[in-house]
Structure 1
Amino acid sequence: MTQQHSGAAGSLFIVATPIGNLDDISQRVLQVLREVAWVAAEDTRHSGKLLSHFNISARFLSLHDHNEKQRAASLLQKLQAGESVALVSDAGTPLISDPGYSLVRLCRDAGVKIVPIPGPCALIAALCCAGLPTDKFHFIGFLPAKSGQRQQVLSDIPANVGTLITYEAARRVKDTLADVAVVFGDERELVLAKEISKTFEHFCHGTAQSITAWLEEDPQRCQGEMVLMIAPPADKPDDDIHPAAQKTLKLLMSELPLKKAAALTAEIHGEKKNALYKLGLSWDLAQE
């Protein structure tokens, strides 16, 4: 691993950095950051402090949401000239709700070698400690800022995708919990992880209502980085869904996509859309 490759393109390293505790940095990350020609950073000031802590000097270029497409082209030129580049975000793994997609796509299409340097990722760290199902999960990223749009996004997610994981800003977390209760009901099991790997790390398990109450007990709890996890719906036996609703669902499925059929059946009979969707999906799978 060197800065220059005689006659060959450099490598693009996708480098995961600590999300809080600096002791989580790996020796491989430190080696890469010392040896690359350039560090492409979401915030050069923030990443500069990280490298300074480890006595690493680097040439920085900014790469963020507002300049990525333009900056990606210049970075590709550097890579094709033989200079290696490390891509870092402010914390955690680049591209996971952070910039980098355009650069990676451009480099892939140009045949540049792309090397993952694994490390911290908030969604994985949160999920493995939450006590929720991990065999299937669906990462939503950041939900929309407006309540109506949040509810629409949540409503559009099928019931069979497993545990839902979203990042949320502290200033919006209570509003998001309220929308989760509207869409999934207040009985749905949730886990809120905050400040992972930091001094005030905490996992709060409960319903939307009980977690909101916990947050309101102390205003400082509504601070910091947060990961919200939503458990899959509890299995509902077919006989818990009214026979008339099952009949309607079967009729509509013969003419409409399952998602639309479940939504219409829910509206007609007052059943839960996700339960109807899951039931219809089980019928489809049984016929395969």
Structure 2
Amino acid sequence: MKKMNQINNGILYIVPTPIGNLLDITHRALEILKNVNLIAAENIRHTNILLQNFNIKNNLILMNKDNEKKQSNNLIEKLKTGKNIALVSNAGTPVINDPGHLLIKKCHFFNINIIPLPGPCSAITALSASGITNNRFCYEGFLPSKKKKRCDLLLSLKEETRTMIFYESKYRILETIKDIIEQIDKYRHIVIAREITKKWESIYGTQANLMLNWLQEDKNRYKGEIIIIVEGFKKTKIDHLSNEILNTFILLRQSLSLKKAVLITSQIYKISKNYLYQKMIQKEK
């Protein structure tokens, strides 16, 4: 690593740290943590465990979600004087669901050099082992803790064609799987990745309703840090409607509105409700 010394502004290094297994730290990350003037840490005690494991002694300053605004201004002043600073979170790549974006935004404003390092990220690590198509995906972070907001969000993602990644608490995982079944699809394939890179790591995938049963069989299956990966919506391309589909729709239409009958039929046969709606409008004209 080049000697970290600048005539004017310092450098802000974004340094990923292991999400479980300390051996996942890179040589470059260790070298930077050793040589910067200051480490801005989300949790000083947690970061000290990492530093001590690799015999690194350095100055740490706390920057968490509670003091991020004030501390960002403080760190900018230090960077302006030529100090080099490493930004770390509790684990993984900083700023992904962690504090730090205000500091980075200010660095851009004051033309302070930012150097990001590649490294661990639990969402991407879990996605790579999910077996679900991952050439297109969206990261949704933690689902809302309130049921209504959570259900509203899941419903809005019902026809999202990209693979979806969520973080969830062990305290809400069962309710969340129930909500996925109700708001998205009980047959949708999902993967639960737990304690990635740690001793009790597990990765298991099945359709949503079977996943709920699997989790309920053993509470140890949802302990620790949990990532949910949900397969994207697959649009069924059909040129005609089978007699089975038509008969189901006709039966439902006898007691339901056109819109409701279309919705239920599309869910049963996994076909686009918009396509079905257009076909049924033509038939009812």
Q: For this structure pair, what is the TM-score category when the shorter chain's length is used for normalisation?
A: 0.7 to 0.9
Q: Give the superposition deviation at 1:159.
A: 2.7
Q: Is 1:204–2:204 an aligned residue pair?
A: yes
Match of 1:43 in 2: 43
Q: Give the superposition deviation at 1:279.
A: 5.9
On the 8 A contact 1:158/1:277 being kept in 2, the answer is no
Question: Which blocks of at least 5 consecutive residues in structure 1 are unaligned?
Answer: 244-264, 281-288
Question: Which blocks of at least 5 consecutive residues in structure 2 are unaligned?
Answer: 247-257, 277-285
SS in 2 for 1:152: helix
Q: Give the superposition deviation at 1:220.
A: 2.0
Q: Is 1:269–2:252 an aligned residue pair?
A: no
What fraction of aligned residue pairs are identical, expressed as a percent?
34
Distance verdict in 2 for CA 1:102–1:219, change over 3 Å: same
Distance 1:207 1:49 in 2: 39
Q: CA RMSD in A?
A: 2.4
SS in 1 for 2:172: helix
Q: Give the superposition deviation at 1:140.
A: 0.1
Q: Give the superposition deviation at 1:13.
A: 0.5
On the 8 A contact 2:151/2:183 being kept in 1, the answer is yes
> Counterpart amino acid of 1:138?
C
Distance 1:217 1:129 in 2: 23
Match of 2:282 in 1: none
Number of residue equivalences: 259
Which of 18-27 and 148-157 deviates more?
148-157
Match of 1:80 in 2: 80
On the 8 A contact 2:42/2:63 being kept in 1, the answer is yes
Distance 1:23 1:210 in 2: 35
SS in 2 for 1:170: coil
1:17-96 aligned at under 5 Å gives the runs: 17-96=17-96
Match of 2:6 in 1: 5
SS in 2 for 1:150: helix
TM-score (norm 2): 0.84
Q: Give the superposition deviation at 1:278.
A: 7.9
Match of 2:253 in 1: none
Which of 169-178 and 136-145 deviates more?
169-178
Distance 2:44 2:63 in 1: 9
Q: Give the superposition deviation at 1:98.
A: 1.2
> Counterpart amino acid of 1:190?
I
On the 8 A contact 1:160/1:278 being kept in 2, the answer is no
Q: Give the superposition deviation at 1:96.
A: 0.9
Distance verdict in 2 for CA 1:229–1:175, change over 3 Å: same
Pick the structure with greater CA Rg.
2
Deviations 1:243-278 (A, max 9, x none): 9xxxxxxxxxxxxxxxxxxxxx96573255996588
On the 8 A contact 1:159/1:275 being kept in 2, the answer is no
Distance 2:274 2:36 in 1: 49
Distance verdict in 2 for CA 1:10–1:189, change over 3 Å: same
On the 8 A contact 2:158/2:233 being kept in 1, the answer is no
SS in 1 for 2:48: helix
On the 8 A contact 2:16/2:91 being kept in 1, the answer is yes
Q: Give the superposition deviation at 1:212.
A: 2.1
Match of 1:97 in 2: 97
> Counterpart amino acid of 1:137?
F
Q: Is 1:110–2:110 an aligned residue pair?
A: yes
Match of 1:249 in 2: none
Distance verdict in 2 for CA 1:277–1:268, change over 3 Å: closer
Distance 1:278 1:192 in 2: 31
